[in-house]
Structure 1
């Protein structure tokens, strides 16, 4: 396996910029997930690493070797596509062994590699079938097996689970994670699904508008998002946001909400007095008070999910959500009172960057 170093990578189509200078160090054996909304540049970056898109500016190194000018076949990487890209006239065994046969690999080596990959992926009973006789999940396992037999320096996954239903996606996520733990392969995985990103990644690269917004472990992005985009994109249900102002006074410091509520904070922030801020809090951290304290919010919708309950509220005229395991929430009246524990607050400045 190998490390992958990306230095100031830019991509333009004509005069339209798509990537605005991406820097990323991927360690040998690391599982990196590129996540973001459609059009953020994550798939373009993956295709540039694979050699399927030309680099406009910058440098890509795989195992310390510059690969900008190398053809895809000379980069020693394997790619798993959303569309599976299997040969319909070939059996599972022939699909998995095709790349090795092209390289005129000895038969014994091919048989051993295919058998090992098939065993890891549970494909042994399916080796003589053709793709049309397989389910979507089985086809994706074959596509993964075809990549594994090559023993490449890195695996690239381009939204491989998008065509599967919810239950199969859950199953395949677990299989991919187990496979990575077994192979310890350098892997880059592209998805727009933040649940996939959170469950699979060693580190997440959150992208938006062709710019890397934050790089970190899943819990780093969840607990301390760098800006409003990351805070809103990571987490389900998404983080709540409220307009507020930073206030200092002899009696203390805090965040003043639109309705006049002052939320006290322990430490001063690097902000001017009366600076506009955005206050964020995750739905699972909101507390419903029963003693009449807190802010009053109108209940607009209640969604039982089985595991928990989502309350859709209107607070200060803005959409607001609570996630709770308390089933008494199903009996919530037309309004509830809510409070925000200070330890769970996120504060963002006027530019949308994290302050606290």
Structure 2
């Protein structure tokens, strides 16, 4: 396995720039997830690492070796695609061994590599089947096995679970995580699904508009998002946001909301009247008996049961607010409930720049 270094990499298609001076270092054995909305540049970056797209400027190093001018076959990396890309006329064993046969490996080594991979992935009973006789999850495991037998320096995963249903995605996430723990392989994984990013990654790279917005552990991005984009993209249900103006009153601080309410916020060294956006995650909103004394009573517009709890959609002043209520609730649409926003759970952002204000 090898470290991967991306140094000031840019990518343009004609006059359109899609990646802007990206810098990223991935340690040997690390599992890094590139996450962001469609068109943010994450798949383009992965394809440049693989050698499928050319680098406009900057350098990509794998194991300390500059690979910009190397063909994909010479980079010693393996890629798992969204579409599985299996040969329909070949068996499971044939698909997994194909790249080794092309490279003229000895039959004994090929058989040993395929045998090890099929055992690791639970494919031993399926080795003689063709792809049409496999489920979606089984096909994805075959694609993973085809990558494993090559013993590459790094694994690249290009949205490998997006074609699976929700139950299979959950199962395959766990299998990929276990596989990484067993192999200790350097891995770069691309997804637009922030749940995949949170559950799989050692570090997440959040991207938007061809720029890296933040790099950190899943909890870093969840609890200390660098800006409004990361705060809004990471987390499900999504974070609540309110805009207003900062106001000091002695030792206390408030945000006078555009939505027509005023709430207590942590003090920050900013001027009165400064435009702020506050964020609070739905699970931190206190409702009903948990709300603090004097909390405003807000109308409930929608209740979404989730099994482990319910997402309450309420009207806070003139603004919509989501609260996650753990456990069962008797609340129904049209009723009212007390709601409070704990100041210690609020995140403050500069409305103009989007940057989070330091604690």
**TM class by smaller structure:** over 0.9
Aligned to 1:287: 286
Match of 1:353 among 349, 352, 355: 355
Give the CA deviation at 1:256. 3.1
Deviations 1:195-243 (A, max 9, x none): 0000000000000111111000000100011101100110000000011
Please state if 1:269 is matched with 2:268.
yes
Give the CA deviation at 1:273. 1.9
Give the CA deviation at 1:326. 3.7
Please state if 1:17 is matched with 2:20.
no
Give the CA deviation at 1:75. 0.5
Q: Distance in 2 between matches of 1:257 and 1:295?
A: 14
Deviations 1:297-324 (A, max 9, x none): 3211111111110111222322210111
**Residues 1:58 and 1:329: Cα distance change in structure 2 (over 3 Å):** farther
Give the CA deviation at 1:292. 6.6
1:309–1:329 CA contact under 8 A, matched in 2: no
Aligned to 1:59: 59
Aligned positions, number: 354
**Residues 1:229 and 1:264: Cα distance change in structure 2 (over 3 Å):** closer
Q: Distance in 1 between matches of 2:333 and 2:264?
A: 25
Give the CA deviation at 1:112. 0.8
Give the CA deviation at 1:248. 1.9
Q: Specify the SS of the correspondent of 1:299.
A: strand
Q: Specify the SS of the correspondent of 2:244.
A: strand
2:255–2:263 CA contact under 8 A, matched in 1: yes
2:256–2:263 CA contact under 8 A, matched in 1: yes
Give the CA deviation at 1:332. 6.8
Moved more, 346-355 or 141-150: 346-355
Please report the TM-score for the alignment, with normalisation by the length of structure 2: 0.95
**Residues 1:270 and 1:54: Cα distance change in structure 2 (over 3 Å):** farther
Aligned to 2:315: 314
Moved more, 317-326 or 189-198: 317-326
Q: Distance in 2 between matches of 1:214 and 1:60?
A: 20
Q: Distance in 2 between matches of 1:202 and 1:260?
A: 40
2:3–2:28 CA contact under 8 A, matched in 1: yes
**Residues 1:67 and 1:270: Cα distance change in structure 2 (over 3 Å):** farther
1:256–1:263 CA contact under 8 A, matched in 2: no
2:29–2:186 CA contact under 8 A, matched in 1: yes
Q: Distance in 1 between matches of 2:227 and 2:234?
A: 11
Aligned to 2:206: 206
1:301–1:313 CA contact under 8 A, matched in 2: yes
Aligned to 1:340: 341
Give the CA deviation at 1:181. 0.1
2:39–2:209 CA contact under 8 A, matched in 1: yes
Moved more, 309-318 or 46-55: 309-318
Deviations 1:259-303 (A, max 9, x none): 3423042xx423222101001000000001447722333211111
Please state if 1:115 is matched with 2:115.
yes
1:289–1:339 CA contact under 8 A, matched in 2: no
Aligned to 2:35: 35
2:302–2:314 CA contact under 8 A, matched in 1: yes
2:154–2:187 CA contact under 8 A, matched in 1: yes
Please report the TM-score for the alignment, with normalisation by the length of structure 1: 0.96
Unaligned runs of 5+ in 2: none
Q: Distance in 1 between matches of 2:249 and 2:303?
A: 39
Q: Specify the SS of the correspondent of 1:327.
A: coil
Q: Distance in 2 between matches of 1:144 and 1:289?
A: 48
Q: Distance in 2 between matches of 1:19 and 1:251?
A: 45
Moved more, 174-183 or 335-344: 335-344
Unaligned runs of 5+ in 1: none
| Matches for 1:155-304 after TM superposition, within 5 Å | 155-258=155-258, 259-265=260-266, 268-290=267-289, 293-304=294-305
Moved more, 54-63 or 256-265: 256-265
